[in-house]
Amino acid sequence: MGLLVSVMRIGLAQINTTVGDFEGNKRLILDAYRNLVADGAELVLTPELAVTGYPPRDLVFRSGFVRRSEEVIQELARETGEVPLIAGFVEHNTKERGKPFRNAAAVLRGGGVVAVRHKSLLPTYDVFDEARYFEPADEVSPVVVSGLRLGITVCEDIWTDEYLPRPLYHVSPPDILAGQGIDLLINLSASPFHAGKPGVREAMMCAVARELRVPIAYCNAVGGNDQLVFDGHSVVINQDGSVSTRLPGFVERVAHDNLRETTSETEQIYQALVLGTRDYIRKCGFKSAVIGLSGGIDSALTAVIAAEALGPENVTGVSMPSRYSSEGSKDDARDLARNLGIHCHTVPIEPVFAVLKDQLSGVFAGRPEDLTEENMQSRIRGVIMMSISNKFGHLLLTTGNKSELAVGYCTIYGDMCGGLAVISDLPKMRVYEVARWINREKEIIPWPSIEKPPSAELKPDQKDQDTLPPYDVLDAILELLVEQHLSVREVAERGFAEETVRWIARKIDLNEWKRHQAAPGLRVTTKAFGVGRRIPIVQRFTP
């Protein structure tokens, strides 16, 4: 519980909801409410849209979805006593005009609904598309509870201009509420993670508390839903901007005066990937995963994340050596599996490759071997991995990183096969950084996997850098092109060779079609190749 300058004891229900699981979400809310009340809470908060899960997206249009959301709020209300519960849900817009639904927060107490407040600011940038569904609040006003004036806001409502991509809104709900006089500013949130965001978010709320001279209670969602990972880090902030309570990130937690130190950005990225992997697999109904182990760093990191997320007994690695696989790579794959304690099989692809080449020899007569034969090997591996996935009910995890996906250094229907692309939003240099962090105390990922030059091993003496710029250069340019949306000229003006920048920009555009067919990936940067990026496949704009 957070003690807010003697205002009241706030219970933060930092819970992991599932989109559309009304019964499961209701149980989570009620369990948290009862536990917090038993521990002395005088007010309990849930995250944004805790009843429906966030984001429900077009499920809101399905018959009965929003009606069930409204019914659950009434059912929750009947379970409340004198301690108020504020819960997020979707309700119908009863006005004749406007979008059909509202993003709402209900104040529940004594068996009934005391008040409902609506979200005012509806983001439509990056991964958000709320104006597609919701009508904004008609007015902003406090709610009086236990003699205190509470200002209730929902997620985006509390974000100030300097922390947004640009000034987006003409009103500030916290300013309006503070102008009417409030004792406590409340924010129910479903704020997704990306690297660096927890610190920025907390700094923003501390600044709002200081400016308005009002304490803040902020309850954020935790857990993975599709490509988004919600990191929690719920906080209670005093009116002077100091942090009273900070819940840990990436875990469900019912607050009990828990002030935790913040973790490093690298550790947060790792925790986000573990949480996102665990929730995606389990919420989709799977219990186990299978991964192709090449002996390289990308598959090694993916395997570590999977073993942490599911338990090593629920992870199977498959080594698929070819005529081009080095003995070192085979050893590294075997050593990784042993270090993690995961199951491991070896299925050589050479016999299948030889037969396939022979089968196609007539069709390919007179043509030299080229990229086709490299891709054949990757696609043979894809068939093997999908077959094992089908036979044993494992979810296949792909192992490509963001740098490769950006420029198409991956094989469609080959190494891109799978149900979840765990590290597809992690640039290669970040892959190295996280891998070294994993090995900070002892060797888990074999050091040769980290230190050797990366290679697809699809032809003799192949190295990634034969085809790609050095990864430190590639990643720096990708950040400027993809995350900051700069032009080729603007990137080149920052000291990069224009020919290299233009080559990378062209590769990004040419491979948009591949990414549209890729497995969903977990978002950990400010701009992932996924739901928050909408580039046409067919287009002729030259930056």
Residues designated as active site: 48, 119, 155
- The dihedral formed by the CA atoms of 285, 301, 430 and 459, expressed in degrees to the nearest 10: -110
373: DSSP letter: H
CA distance 45 to 99: 26
Please give the biggest Cα pair distance in the chain.
87
3-class state of residue 510 by DSSP: helix
User: What stretch of H or E contains 230?
Assistant: strand 228-231
Least Cα distance to 325 among 301, 299, 347, 294 occurs for: 294
Contact 359, 323 (CB under 8 A): no
Contact 255, 36 (CB under 8 A): yes
Is the sign of the CA dihedral 471, 298, 226, 511 positive or negative? Answer: positive
249: DSSP letter: B
CA distance 245 to 236: 5
Q: What angle do CA 521, 56, 100 make, to 5 degrees?
A: 140
Contact 526, 127 (CB under 8 A): no
250: DSSP letter: S
CA distance 92 to 101: 4
